[in-house]
Amino acid sequence: MALLELKNVNVRYIMKDKKVHACQHVSLEIEEQDSIGIVGESGSGKSTLASAVLRLLPHRITQVDGEILYNGKDLLKLTKDEMDALRWTDLSIVFQKSMSALSPVHKVGAQMEDVYRVHFPNADKNEIKQRVYDLFKVVNLSDRVYELYPHELSGGMMQRVSIALSLLHNPRLLVLDEATTALDVVTQSQILREIMSLEQNLNVTRIMITHDVSVVASTCKKIAVMYAGRLMESGETKDVLVNPQHPYTQGLLKSFPSFKGAKNDLRGIPGSLPDLSQDIPGCVFAPRCPFATEKCRTVEPELKTINEKGNWKVACHKVGGE
Ligand code: ATP
Ligand code: MG
């Protein structure tokens, strides 16, 4: 059984005069100890999907349907208390701007103690301190940060505190939503290396949301490519990046100079995301796709499995023998 299985997940933001379809028919399986990178241009629904899994969407303005099975249990059906019991120990997320995770009026260490005591109310102060110091090493922070107030930290230090906090209870599923993007390249790769070694020792599964395909290439076993709220292609990183099948994946990779080709080869894909409040017939990528046919403009392609292992999937009429 997959650790996390999304089945036909739809997310809509309800606005005064329209509904924005931020995720549509997303189906994805994430196995235990997978590391999966979710990529796609800005506005493609990556953060919305992650927030749906963690049940962090503002519920008055969102509609979520489908199934989000964690260990076989549908997270969408859990009560608030049941969901809270899973936070930190099972599910943990770090956003790019995680300043809001900490209160400005208490020292960093004291707040980490509070989070520790959510699941271990009787924990000893020294034991917690030791645990936090160990995590500070993972994210390359000195012990003195324990006694500082959030306003005394730089943005990068704050981000690293948030990552340390997310690891406090050894979560089984860790979601990093552009969590390391703002850090300098050396610090980013150092932290990711440390997190990857924790994953091996502690059985952590990681979802990594990023604009940077080269980070996925070096740190994720699998990749999922989103466009306009849909999953376009997913599979093992080594398959998808070496031999991308979906025209969108192909275009996306061409736009990453660090990954393929020379620096001046930054082409991007002409055009922009469609209006997500409109019903789009056929394939959402058809208006920008150089290979689109009449069928692409009228019939929505299903996600088809294209390899024998059954873990490479593509939503394109042109792929998979039609
Ligand atoms: P980025 O790479 O810029 O972080 P993303 O892939 O994470 O983008 P989302 O933030 O999930 O994309 O946004 C998906 C769509 O949902 C966009 O069209 C966005 O405008 C819309 N959206 C996101 N949050 C809200 C909100 N609170 N209210 C209304 N629409 C929203
Ligand atoms: Mg986002």
pLDDT tens-digit map of 29-66: 999 999 999 999 899 999 999 999 999 999 999 999 99
Give the number of other Cβ atoms within 10 Å of residue 260's Cβ. Answer: 14
Residue with tokens 């703002």: 182
CA of 87 to the centre of ligand 1 (A): 23
pLDDT of residue 256: 63
For range 3-7, the mean pLDDT: 98
Tokens of 63: 């509609």
CB 172 within 8 A of CB 42: no
Nearest atom within ligand 1 for CA of residue 229:
14
Task: Give the phi and the psi of residue 29 in degrees, each rounded to 5.
Answer: -110, 135
pLDDT of residue 247: 95
Residue with tokens 């209870």: 169
DSSP letter at 102? S
Domain extent listing, the chain: 4-90+171-314
CA of 290 to the centre of ligand 2 (A): 27
Q: Whose CA is nearest to atom 17 of ligand 1?
A: 43
Nearest atom within ligand 1 for CA of residue 211:
2
Pocket test for ligand 1, best of 14, 46, 62, 273 (most atoms within 8 A of CB): 46
Does the CB atom of residue 44 touch ligand 1 within 6 A? yes
Q: What is the dihedral of CA 278, 282, 287, 290, to 10 degrees?
A: 160
Question: pLDDT tens across 308-322, in order?
Answer: 999 999 999 999 765
For range 168-187, the mean pLDDT: 93
Q: What is the dihedral of CA 275, 278, 280, 286, to 10 degrees?
A: -20
Distance CA 212, CA 263 (A): 15
pLDDT of residue 254: 81
- Residues 6 or more apart whose Cβ sits within 8 Å of residue 257: 263, 264, 265, 266
Task: Give the mean pLDDT of the chain.
Answer: 92
pLDDT of residue 92: 95
Distance CA 31, CA 104 (A): 37
Give the number of other Cβ atoms within 10 Å of residue 8's Cβ. Answer: 11
Q: Whose CA is nearest to atom 14 of ligand 1?
A: 45
pLDDT of residue 263: 44
Whether 182 has a pLDDT exceeding 90, the answer reads no
Q: Whose CA is nearest to atom 18 of ligand 1?
A: 43
Going through 105-242 in order, the beta strands assigned E by DSSP cover: 173-177, 205-209, 222-227, 230-236
CA of 53 to the centre of ligand 1 (A): 15
Whether 189 has a pLDDT exceeding 60, the answer reads yes
Indicate the length of the chain as a whole number.
Answer: 322
In angstroms, the Cα distances linking 143 to 12, 147, 158, 247 are 43, 8, 14, 48
In angstroms, the Cα distances linking 202 to 112, 190, 208 are 20, 18, 17
CB 205 within 8 A of CB 32: yes
Question: pLDDT tens across 252-297, in order?
Answer: 888 665 554 444 344 567 888 999 999 999 999 999 999 999 999 9
The dihedral built from the CA positions of residue 317, 273, 250 and 97, taken in this order, carries a sign that is negative
Distance CA 241, CA 220 (A): 11
Does the CB atom of residue 274 touch ligand 1 within 6 A? no
Whether 225 has a pLDDT exceeding 50, the answer reads yes
Tokens of 202: 């502690």
**What is the homologous superfamily of the domain 4-90+171-314 according to CATH?**
P-loop containing nucleotide triphosphate hydrolases (3.40.50.300)
CA of 57 to the centre of ligand 2 (A): 13
Rounded to 10°, the helix 185-202/125-138 angle is: 120
- The whole model's pTM is what? 0.93
pLDDT of residue 303: 94
Task: Give the phi and the psi of residue 115 in degrees, each rounded to 5.
Answer: -65, -40
Model confidence at 11, pLDDT cuts 50, 70, 90, reads: very high
For range 197-209, the mean pLDDT: 92
Note whether ipTM > 0.95 here. yes
CA of 91 to the centre of ligand 1 (A): 21
